[in-house]
Amino acid sequence: MQEIVDRLTADDRGAEIARTLIFPYLNHAATMLESGYATSADIDAGMRFGCGYPVGPIALTEALGAQTVIDGLTALHATTGDPLHVPAPILSDLAGAAAAEDVTPQLRHDVTSIGVVGTGTMASGIVQVFAQAGYDVTYVGRSQDKLDGVIAYITKNLDRAVAKGKLDEDGKASVLDRLTGSTEREALGGVDVVVEAIAEDLEIKRELFRDLDRIAKPGAILATTTSSLSIADLAAQTGRPGDVVGIHFFNPAPVMKLVEIVSADTTSPEVAETAKALSLNVGKHPVSCGDRAGFIVNALLFPYLNDAIRLHENGGGSLEEIDTAIKENAKLPMGPFELLDVVGNDVSLAIQQTLVGAFGHDGWAPAPTLEKLVADGQLGRKTKAGFHTY
């Protein structure tokens, strides 16, 4: 931590670039805390486990000293005039911000069996996570080929674990024995929790939740892994809105520790607590937040990435300079342009547009360079060209 503080407060160009991007991110996190949207512990854990950051934004602000951040933001605001750079009032008394009581969540519903809808990478990973934790899992796909793909994905991962000595052949067989595939949604009628991981399309998900409401037994929890869509909207498609919750896994699900538990106003507290306890039971680190665009991680990550593009556009540094400054001074695992290319510039643009639509901050409007790259089909690593060339 002290090394990061020393690097961010250094008097050199790299530190200046890093501060220009990191201070608004810290301000945004403080605003999120101030609004009561999430606790400081969950905000910090979200960025540590969701992005691999060495320290969360609230803890980093405290380590730097809130006045240092306030002074930096004030100077930045004088240059940009962006209202988002006005220091959040809570920064003046960050130490006094209320922290949530550390209470271990409990399963308020009996959960022995899980259903998963979907056969893509995310869905396959979720199936593996629950099966490895000892749950019987029924997964549903459109065709036998799709179902076979789930088994192939999981088998490959388990074989890798066996090769590394983390699992034996009996353990592998036990995991695979817990899996049941079906091309019929009716197979989910007896499970305790259904997790959908299908296309990020609101109409498709609405239709699914209407069908799950018909199929799932009374008291079953209906969960969505959406990263951007409204939990309340999906809940409204059912006659059991209290049983609908967001359980947002990060990709790849078997590897990433973070799960965002997203509650709509209609979500039962017992359902949210059960979802959190279930996440702990499968070895994840759950964080709680409300039903709004971006949740914790995307709402903090993508404005920072967009700011990096604008900094480059305004002559604040080359792509390499900015990437290097962030890695060397903030000790983040990847520079912003490297990360954009990994995520996919099309995905990044869509998320940024969603955030602007939800919050209306002009300062979050997608950077022109991002829009142009997407229009030109330069989406990042998946097309071999984006901000960098591969």
Which DSSP symbol is given to 72?
H
Q: Active-site residue 260, yes or no?
A: yes
| Catalytic, out of 248, 263, 288, 338 | 248
Question: What backbone torsions phi and psi does residue 103 show, to the nearest 5 degrees?
Answer: -115, 130
Orientation angle between helical segments 297-313 and 345-359, nearest 10 degrees: 110
Spatial separation of the C-alpha atoms in residues 244 and 238, rounded to whole Å: 9
Spatial separation of the C-alpha atoms in residues 102 and 84, rounded to whole Å: 31
Spatial separation of the C-alpha atoms in residues 184 and 174, rounded to whole Å: 24
The vertex-215 CA angle with 275 and 119, nearest 5°, equals 65
Q: Contact at 8 Å (CB) between 264 and 321?
A: no
Q: Which residues are CB-neighbours of 229 under 8 A, at least 6 positions away? A: 200, 202, 205
| Catalytic, out of 28, 40, 228, 260 | 260
Q: Which residues are CB-neighbours of 11 under 8 A, at least 6 positions away? A: none
Question: What backbone torsions phi and psi does residue 194 show, to the nearest 5 degrees?
Answer: -110, 125
Q: Please, which residues bridge with residue 261 across strands? A: 247, 288
* Residue 275 tokens, joined: 């979802």
* Residue 249 tokens, joined: 């896994």
Q: Active-site residue 313, yes or no?
A: no
Q: Active-site residue 298, yes or no?
A: yes
| Catalytic, out of 228, 298, 329, 348 | 298
Q: Active-site residue 248, yes or no?
A: yes
Spatial separation of the C-alpha atoms in residues 82 and 342, rounded to whole Å: 29
Residue 125, SS3? helix
* Residue 263 tokens, joined: 């509650």
Residues labelled as active-site residues: 227, 248, 260, 298
